[in-house]
Amino acid sequence: MRPVSRVSPPCPVSPPCPTSPPCPTSPPGLPTRPLPTDGLRLAGLSGCPRPYARTPFPGFPSHVPPPPGDPVSTTRLVLLSARLLDPATGAFLPQTALAVSDDGRISALGDDREIRALAGPGTTVVDLKGAVVTPGLVDGHVHPVTGAELTGGLDLSGCADLDDVRAELAREVRRLARGEWLFAWGLDPNVFGDRPVGVAPFDAVLDGVPAFLLLFDAHSALASRRALELAGVDGPRTFAQASAEVVCDADGRPTGLLQEDAACALVERVAPQPTREERREGLAVALRAMAAAGLTGGHVMDANGDSLALYGELDAAGELPLRLRVAPWCQPGTDADGVRALIEQQGTGGALWRVTGVKLFMDGTIDNGTAWLERPDRNGESTGAFWPDPAAYTQIVGELHRAGVATATHAIGDAAVRHALDSVEKAQASATVGVRHRVEHIETVPDDTLRRFAELGVVASMQPTHCCDFTRADHTDNWSRRLGEERASLAWRCRDLVDSGATVVLGSDWPIAPFPPLGVLAGARHRRPSRDLGQAPHGPEQALTGLEALRGMTTGPAYAAGEEHEAGRLAVGYRADLTVLAADPLTTPATELADVPVRLTAVDGRVTFRATDL
């Protein structure tokens, strides 16, 4: 793993990077390249519904205005024979049906007969046949545009060995036209076993094919011989980025392995770039897959590149199937104008998306040795803040707080979390403003830090599947080994945070981990690797109950957004963002939850996904 630069966070090496147009709405000081996720490792989409494009979402139908004075025909959606699950109590409501009015709000709860009577000719009526309705599931931390770009090619994340990779590549090569580039992502370097990571094992299958295979950390890639030839890369290079490298063998010939952005860019710039239309379609496809997986909303943790323009276009076209809150980044070095621009940007958006909050980074990652820990890790790393001057971060948090802007700070190590909380405490002392700040990731924290979340009213945003899939119960993984036993035993303390009174929000951080929300809920409960549920859980004492997990994707995100009076519950007047599941997520065993079929999703009372047999 490569260290994260202090100046700019790690950049993914997705092909669209070099030519991505600057975002017209990005405040000064923000990067214009689509940057990654938070520097964690990429994970496969093994849990995702694979046939992305086949999810039926024809776009929202155009609305036919009802005849004036006719109350019946203002009903947009009616759901019958439902079990209505209230995450506030964990109980089913006594009613079996609900109606949604044309303003996208739940207008009535009742029995089937009462609610059916509210339907008019323009109403969508669905008999759920006993399926379970929950308030719409919201991913508390997600990167849709980056994810869609990064995962556009062949998915190699499911490959466990070289033969698997070769088979996948061969299948893809057969599909390609002559001379066409092959793009892939999610390659796990562990497939090489003890062999050096390089393109040699794939030379035969990629003979003459220009190929670019992104490794799962998105910080390095393999280029095929033909791709290197087209790029004119035939030996070592030197880069301004100290960690970038064209890896070469003893004879000085490239092995195909390109380390870090600058090296990858040598090949990327000769590869074809997706058109804007293709990128927009890729985003739409990813969002449809999210809706099909049960998501109705997301707290988007970047506004990089032309993200906002893409959301705006999809929204205007009626093709945005999720309600999105987008937090643009504030990087170290942001000046007063930059902060002002971030403040002015707040509240802009469209019908289903809005710029809300600001995302900051307090550190990098434990795996890369770039987290900020109170004591160095066992490699002597993870000793410093992402901001060269942490006091500058504190000052900006204060300015945003006084302007009523909620901050969301990536803070993984204990020192980073402490500093983020200290800064919120200072900001709160300077002005009484009803702003709900949040901290993202919180991977290892001591007891005395835990309780401060509730005391300061700071939301804890957790990604339990990172614990499940990237660490091991026996602490033989890189994350745990770097931290050592004591701190590794304080991993992802979801249970302790809930018990201490904090509001916990759950998310995937897609594309770092798969987005299907049932997998996230399941991971929060079982804390086992999703690919092998037979393995031991990592920190089982930190597992959430089914109800606590469900709250983390319903009432929790609503509270974090300051919308608990209108979102996250099934009640009259609340938004009709709804997820319908084939089984009760509270009583389904954690190890089976990820496989529960999603029957329907609705946003604003409009159906965004409907199972074909429903």
Q: Which residues bind Zn ion (CB under 5 A)?
A: 37-38, 301, 509
* Cα three-residue angle 242-243-246, rounded to 5 degrees: 105
Between 197 and 513, CB nearer to Zn ion: 513
- How far apart are CB 466 and Zn ion at their closest, in Å? 10
Determine the 3-state secondary structure of 599 from DSSP. strand
Between 305 and 585, CB nearer to Zn ion: 305
- How far apart are CB 437 and Zn ion at their closest, in Å? 17
Which residue has 């070099």 as its token pair?
Answer: 18
Between 80 and 460, CB nearer to Zn ion: 460
- How far apart are CB 352 and Zn ion at their closest, in Å? 21
- Among 502, 503, 538, 504, residue whose Cα is nearest residue 523: 538
Tokens of 302: 């970047």
Q: Do 156 and 192 meet the contact criterion of CB atoms below 8 Å apart?
A: no
* Cα three-residue angle 299-471-359, rounded to 5 degrees: 25
Between 210 and 552, CB nearer to Zn ion: 552
Tokens of 309: 């323009």
- How far apart are CB 443 and Zn ion at their closest, in Å? 13
Q: Do 198 and 255 meet the contact criterion of CB atoms below 8 Å apart?
A: yes
Between 97 and 301, CB nearer to Zn ion: 301
Q: Which long-range contacts (CB under 8 A, 24 or more apart) does 106-111 make?
A: 106/570, 106/571, 106/572, 106/573, 106/574, 106/575, 106/576, 106/605, 107/74, 107/75, 107/572, 108/572, 109/84, 109/570, 109/571, 109/572
Between 408 and 581, CB nearer to Zn ion: 408
The one-letter code for the residue type at 265 is A
- How far apart are CB 38 and Zn ion at their closest, in Å? 4
Between 38 and 172, CB nearer to Zn ion: 38
- How far apart are CB 265 and Zn ion at their closest, in Å? 22
Between 140 and 152, CB nearer to Zn ion: 140
Helix or strand (DSSP H, E) at 485? helix 478-488
Q: Do 421 and 458 meet the contact criterion of CB atoms below 8 Å apart?
A: yes
- How far apart are CB 428 and Zn ion at their closest, in Å? 25
Beta-carbon contacts of 169 under 8 Å, excluding residues fewer than 6 positions away, are 154, 182, 184, 202, 205, 206, 211
- How far apart are CB 143 and Zn ion at their closest, in Å? 6
- State which residue has the least CB distance to Zn ion: 38
- How far apart are CB 509 and Zn ion at their closest, in Å? 4
- Among 31, 32, 40, residue whose Cα is nearest residue 1: 40
Which residue has 């007891």 as its token pair?
Answer: 447
Between 142 and 320, CB nearer to Zn ion: 142
Beta strands of 188-228 (E only): which ranges? Answer: 211-215, 220-223
Determine the 3-state secondary structure of 84 from DSSP. strand
